Amino acid sequence: MSEVIFLVDHSAGKITKAAGELATYAKSIGDSVAVVFADNAQPIVDQLNTFPVDKVITIAGEFDKYGPAAIADGLAQLLTDRKPAAVLITSTANGKEIAARASVITGSGIITDAVNVDKDLITTQSVFGGSTTVHATVTKGVPIITLRANSIEATGATSSAAVEIFAATISEAAKLAPITSSTPVVKGGRPDLTEASIVVSGGRGTNGDFKPVEALADALGAAVGASRAATDAGWYPHSNQVGQTGKTVSPQLYVAAGISGAIQHRAGMQTSKTIVAINKDPEAPILEIADFAVVGDLFNVLPQATAQIIARKG
Amino acid sequence: MKIAICIKQVPDSWAEKKMAGGVLDRAGVDAVLNDLDEYAVEEALRIVEANSPTKEAGEGSGHTITLISMGPERATEAIRKALSMGADDAILVTDPSLAGSDALATSLVLSEVIKKGNYDLVLCGTESTDARMSVIPAMISQRLGWAQLTFAGKVAVNPAANTVEIERVTEFGNQVMSAKFPAVLSVVEKINEPRYPSFKGIMAAKKKPITNMSLADTGVGSSDVGSAAAWSNVKEALPRPPRGAGVKLTDEGNGGEKLVEFLVEKRLA
């Protein structure tokens, strides 16, 4: 069976949720081969044992210092050596840059932001704010495909994959912009916006008061998002902005409270499995794409829903 | 300093977009300067203004800002917008054989144009609002063998030392990276507030030179660009089926309860 290599994202020694999702995609296509760029790879390798992984390749070197450019060098050398059927990478800023550089180095086609890839390596992308679904394939080299987090439910497994070490060299060009200091994201108590299964977002209708939005999010174990209107007004951090110029999310449930649903916002959330909207304006465009819409004041509807959910949990 | 900015004309992000023959149908929609490129133009202007004896960009600043774009003749509209903000001149690569080019071909053409200009810095937005791939800056950096300083939320340039330092803003946190010229930068939209072109700027932009280049002028062969040379292939593009008609109700004091009933039914709460 042919190998499908996937790049394991990790931060501060922990793999991201997306790593299990990529393993699941890889296994549905062929042998699932994880590649881990880390000097101390063992703790990361151990975390992969609960996912369908057939083999792990570790690559050590100054990858923390030189970032995506260096990882792309290592990945390209691995592709040339192993000639896998495909490479899967998470659609993050880093992931897409690694994919881009590896594509140029190896002369391989690239598809980004896929929400599915099937066993024949046909990808599905949702483009133009979710209004169009595109099916595409890579026609040259090793297909390099970046997949959005949360686009598949990771399959659990008990695996004890053999670990191989691969030696890669970092080119002089990739060493031109060293990382001189690094500040990891301060993780709040809530799940990460792009990884969360549920997102509750607030917009202009909050008038700057995100308390009911946060309370519902916490009752549901959800991440908190915000429209551009809310972040531009300084009501919520830009890092929580959902939309064309912010984060793209596709959770199981997206709750839009006091968000009108301009096309720019819809571009960031329209692939959510279920959409719930609360808006005072019965003409708000968001209500048209919602599976469940309440025309009403979020300051009445959200607290009532929050209380109900907490009561149900008992 | 010689600064280049890669800009793109895109369909207005407010417009409904459609596919035609496997590529975006660009003819039927209003076209504008890619929103996210405006931040790159603004940042280039600020870099020049901070290092200009006149505190202004343009003649007398000792620095130049050149716009580089690939697209149809119509892209001159987007170029004029960026020129009216204060860039000095522009290069537009237009060629019928470029239609349908993928990111790999686009980055190849842009890189070849950049090579001819002896630039110190190349600035880009993080992505175009139509294709949204976010790969062009990394591809250009790889092709040129220049330093890659992308997703910058802050840029500090030291022209005397030929160095540039950025704060890179990504989902994994913030990092400080530095490099010597030449370097490829992309800037995130939080970096600045792009200026509106002044009346004087709009008038001046009409006289600023736009150099037209054909594909042959760039030195790239026609077999390396266009839809036939693309390394990925769109098999089909379908309008998303409209979401099934949802439930819509007006809150009569129990809207929150009804909402939770729906979530429970869907096993979401």
Per-residue pLDDT of A97-146, as tens digits, reads 999 999 999 999 999 999 999 999 999 998 876 678 899 999 999 999 99
Average pLDDT for residues A20-45, to the nearest whole number?
97
Q: Please, what is the average pLDDT of chain B?
A: 92
Tell me how far apart the alpha carbons of residues A154 and A156 are, in angstroms, rounded to a whole number.
Answer: 6
Handedness of CA B13, B106, A67, A39 (dihedral sign): positive
Q: What is the pLDDT of residue B14?
A: 61
Chain B environment of A122 (Cβ under 8 Å): 235
DSSP B105: H
Average pLDDT for residues A48-60, to the nearest whole number?
97
Strands A3-7 and A31-37: parallel
User: A123 — phi, psi (to 5°)?
Assistant: -95, 155
Instruction: Please write the tens of the pLDDT for every residue from B105-146.
Output: 999 999 999 999 999 999 999 988 888 889 999 999 999 999
Tell me how far apart the alpha carbons of residues A308 and A295 are, in angstroms, rounded to a whole number.
Answer: 19
Angstrom CA distances, B242 to A129, A130, A290, stand at: 13, 10, 11
Amino acid at B161: A
Handedness of CA A62, A63, A65, A68 (dihedral sign): positive
Tell me how far apart the alpha carbons of residues B134 and A297 are, in angstroms, rounded to a whole number.
Answer: 38
Alpha-helix residue ranges (DSSP H) falling in chain A: 17-29, 42-47, 63-82, 93-106, 211-220, 228-232, 263-266, 286-289, 298-313
Q: Which helix (H) or strand (E) element contains residue B111? A: helix B103-115
Residue ranges of B 67-126 with Cβ closer than 8 A to chain A: 102-104, 107, 126
**Among B219, B5, B145, B10, CA closest to A171:** B145
Asked if A300 lies within 8 A of B173 by C-beta distance, the reply is: no
Asked if B190 lies within 8 A of A238 by C-beta distance, the reply is: yes
- Tell me the pTM: 0.85
**Among A144, A79, A75, A142, CA closest to A111:** A144
For residue A239, pLDDT over 90 is answered with no
Chain A environment of B150 (Cβ under 8 Å): 93, 97
Chain B environment of A127 (Cβ under 8 Å): 17, 132, 237
Q: Which of A285-289, B7-11, B109-113 has the highest mean pLDDT?
A: B109-113
Instruction: Please write the tens of the pLDDT for every residue from A68-90.
Output: 999 999 999 999 999 999 999 99
Tell me how far apart the alpha carbons of residues A221 and A288 are, in angstroms, rounded to a whole number.
Answer: 26
- Dihedral of CA atoms B227, B228, B232, B237 in degrees, nearest 10, equals 50
Asked if A291 lies within 8 A of B18 by C-beta distance, the reply is: no
Q: For A75-106, what is the HEC assignment? A: HHHHHHHHCCCEEEEECCHHHHHHHHHHHHHH
Residue B245: which residues within 8 A CB-CB, separation 6 or more? Answer: none
Omega within 30 of 0 (cis) for the link into B182: yes
Strands A132-138 and B232-239: antiparallel
Length, in residues, of chain B: 269
Q: What's the pLDDT band for A288 if we cut at 50, 70, 90?
A: confident
- Dihedral of CA atoms B174, B175, B178, B184 in degrees, nearest 10, equals -60
Neighbours of A224 (CB within 10 A): 23
Asked if B255 lies within 8 A of A290 by C-beta distance, the reply is: no
Chain A environment of B237 (Cβ under 8 Å): 127, 132-135
Give me the half-sphere count of Cα atoms (radius 13 Å) on the Cβ side of residue A35: 26
3-state DSSP call for residue A64? helix
**The two structure tokens encoding residue A120:** 């024949």
